[in-house]
Structure 1
Amino acid sequence: MIKKSLLILALITVHLTSVFSQNRTAVIRQDVPLDSVRLSDPFILVDKKASLYYMTGTGGMLWKSNDLKKWTGPFSVAQTDPESWMGKNPMIWAAEIHQYNDKYYYFATFTNREVKIDTVGGNVIERRACHVLVSENAEGPYIPMKDPIYLPANKPTLDGTLWVDKDGKPYMVYCYEWLQNLNGTIEKIELKPDLSGSIGEGKLLFRASESPWSREQLNGKVGPNKVTDGPYLFRTGTGRLGMIWTSWIDDIYTQGVVYSKSGTLDGPWIQEKDPITPPNYGHGMLFCTLTGKWLMSVHSHKTVNGRNIRIPHLFDVDFSGDKLIVGKPYIP
């Protein structure tokens, strides 16, 4: 099963390298329906002052909409330093835009395919890490800050997101990739007050193998899946701290939820028994619409003529009580 997983990953990576690249030529389109946008890891920022929705994700491009129905884009917004560890043309995964204090911060995973940091099980691991860019405006451009790195150069990390914990300090919550540790983790690291760098070292929150719902076939036996993907944090109406995250059930992308017993990032984190999305939906985040309705954005996978297509979707959600409840698909 590990060999099969690596093969699937390799095929997807080779096919989508140009899609993930920030330097591809973008043809701006208008009035594009949401289900016609091709985007994985969709993240939606709501700008109440401008009455606009901004959507980004893997590829690092930006889409704009005033109603969630029709979108304009994609616009290139990330400006990385070619002299940095990222190189001249890094791949960009799972970009997020967070408004924090009086600025906008661009959390994303950058991969320099020219630099190899490890080989595990015959699989060569490229230089990949979470990083943060900054802008005065939601539409960018987003540029590097002071610190050249946020996480260790010898560890592949991905899908970083922002959370301010009860101690008032900002943190990056991210995945340490299973390709190297063979049992993916979700971890936290404290950020500087202006998010310009990290403080100290990362701390383990939980491992992929602790999930009761993410499973795979291992040598003819059912065992825990090793993938951690797409953490996103929220508080329920009762103040309970939760995190949605994604893994796999065999070859089906699926999302679950975990809750912190202490109400802080330090946990302990208690996994829910069952996933919260239907099969083939994952890498979610939560946002409140301009009309006050809470939704979850996710993406699905579809193969068309041998090509892997990823499509953003919206779901109704309710977390006004003690738990996150995912409702029906939402059609703008």
Structure 2
Amino acid sequence: MKPGFRTIKTVKTSDIHMRDPFVFTYEKEQKYYLFGTTFADGCGDKDPLFEVYVSTDLAEWTGPYAAFEPPKGFWGVRHYWAPEVFEVDGRFYMFASFKGGIGENRGTGILVADHPAGPYRVHSEGPVTLPGSECLDGTYYEDKEGQRWIVYCHEWTELYDGRIEGLRLTHDLKSSFGEPVTILNAAHMPWIRVFGDPRIEKQGYLTDAPFLYNARNGHLVLLWSSYSKPGCSGDQGLGGYTVATARCVVGRMEGPWTHDDDLLMDRNAGHSSLFRDFGGRLMICTHYPDTPHGQERPLFLPVRETDTGLTL
């Protein structure tokens, strides 16, 4: 693992300031690798980068190491957000969001490494999300027919009613092709509230953090995040950043998709993914709390899978 500019220490999970955490379980080494949004915009003379922590028990972590340091001229100049790592054909691919330079869109690009901790190298030629559009939070999925996909958020700042869409990837994961498949339109959700950012004088229905899971009942399950109204879920949740679930009962990206009535999380926590620990337990990885900013920490909770869905 490659040291970055920050001091490498062994710390508890509660000591790691991180949004959008993602755990890669590496059976070969019996180690967990933790990625997330940490040094997203650089500071002073330091450029933005992606970092990684390593653990054997999900409780204490050593790091941060440098997982990806952008080469000179790299298209992504800021907003280094939400890295996710997947093993495909014996190599390790990082799907991560970047904002381009002046006049360029935000999108998800694909990086590659020979080890889950990196160092990662540029793989795709620019973003592989929808060309000419504001997109983020791309995740990876391979369907039953072997087609590879990127599933991403089409930004509310561009559409007002934010969406989650899928694009087919070439087998080598270098580019996308074809027309996007719309999985959901956030404005149609009964629990969602309008999100606003006064800095850009815009409002809309936000979508974040798609993550796909093949359930044991054959359903293709989608986790995603947005902002909810108070008291809208089964546990009369607080309202705030949350995790919702959608599903395709026939297990196809093209749908049809339905949306679960109850929210999976409604406690000022979100941007979640699923992984299994070395004991085989299904776990959710999320950041908590979402606000106030500066307090976000990774949180790991066991998930129970039933024939009807996922519960914490």
TM-score greater than 0.5 by the shorter chain = yes
The 8 Å contact of residues 212 and 274 in structure 1, kept in 2 or not, is answered as: no
Q: Structure 1 247/90 Cα, relative in aligned 2: closer, same or farther at 3 Å? A: same
The 8 Å contact of residues 301 and 308 in structure 1, kept in 2 or not, is answered as: no
More helix by share: 1
Structure 1 position 200, deviation (Å): 2.3
State the distance in 2 between where 1:244 and 1:159 align: 12
The 8 Å contact of residues 236 and 320 in structure 1, kept in 2 or not, is answered as: no
Equivalences for residues 78-89 of structure 1 within 5 A: 78-86=68-76, 89=77
State the distance in 1 between where 2:288 and 2:26 align: 25
2:102 is the alignment partner of 1:115? yes
2:299 is the alignment partner of 1:313? yes
Task: Give the aligned residue type for 2:26.
Answer: D
Task: Give the match for residue 25 of structure 1.
Answer: 5
Structure 1 position 290, deviation (Å): 0.8
Task: Give the aligned residue type for 2:6.
Answer: A
Structure 1 position 98, deviation (Å): 0.7
- For structure 2, the 5+ residue unaligned runs are 39-49, 197-202, 230-238
Equivalences for residues 205-216 of structure 1 within 5 A: 205-216=183-194
Match of 2:172 among 194, 211, 222: 194
The 8 Å contact of residues 129 and 152 in structure 2, kept in 1 or not, is answered as: no
Structure 1 position 146, deviation (Å): 4.8
The 8 Å contact of residues 170 and 192 in structure 1, kept in 2 or not, is answered as: yes
TM-score (norm 1): 0.80
State the distance in 1 between where 2:61 and 2:124 align: 34
Task: Give the match for residue 182 of structure 1.
Answer: 160
Give the match's secondary structure for 2:20. Answer: coil
Structure 1 position 217, deviation (Å): 8.6
CA RMSD of aligned residues (A): 2.2
2:216 is the alignment partner of 1:230? no
State the distance in 1 between where 2:267 and 2:130 align: 34
Once the two structures are aligned, what percentage of the paired residues are identical?
A: 29
Structure 1 position 203, deviation (Å): 2.2
Give the match's secondary structure for 1:215. Answer: coil
The 8 Å contact of residues 226 and 241 in structure 2, kept in 1 or not, is answered as: yes
Structure 1 position 160, deviation (Å): 0.5
TM-score (norm 2): 0.85
Task: Give the match for residue 20 of structure 1.
Answer: none
2:255 is the alignment partner of 1:255? no
Moved more, 194-203 or 258-267: 194-203
Equivalences for residues 146-185 of structure 1 within 5 A: 146-185=124-163
The 8 Å contact of residues 160 and 204 in structure 2, kept in 1 or not, is answered as: no
Instruction: Tell me the alpha carbon deviations over residues 71-114 of structure 1, each in whole angstroms, 9 at most, x when there is no partner.
Output: 0111111133432432xx433101011111210000100113x4
Task: Give the match for residue 41 of structure 2.
Answer: none
State the distance in 1 between where 2:252 and 2:80 align: 29
Query: Any runs of at least 4 consecutive aligned residues in structure 1 with deviations exceeding 6 A, and if so which?
Result: none
The 8 Å contact of residues 157 and 204 in structure 2, kept in 1 or not, is answered as: no
Equivalent residue pairs, number: 284
Give the match's secondary structure for 2:141. Answer: strand
Match of 2:78 among 90, 95, 99: 90
Structure 1 position 212, deviation (Å): 2.2
Structure 1 position 199, deviation (Å): 2.1
Task: Give the match for residue 103 of structure 1.
Answer: 91
Give the match's secondary structure for 1:209. Answer: helix
The 8 Å contact of residues 240 and 266 in structure 2, kept in 1 or not, is answered as: no
Task: Give the match for residue 57 of structure 1.
Answer: 36
Match of 1:301 among 268, 289, 303: 289
Task: Give the match for residue 309 of structure 2.
Answer: 323
State the distance in 2 between where 1:152 and 1:255 align: 24
Task: Give the match for residue 255 of structure 2.
Answer: 267
Task: Give the aligned residue type for 2:28.
Answer: K
Task: Give the match for residue 75 of structure 1.
Answer: 65
Give the match's secondary structure for 1:92. Answer: strand
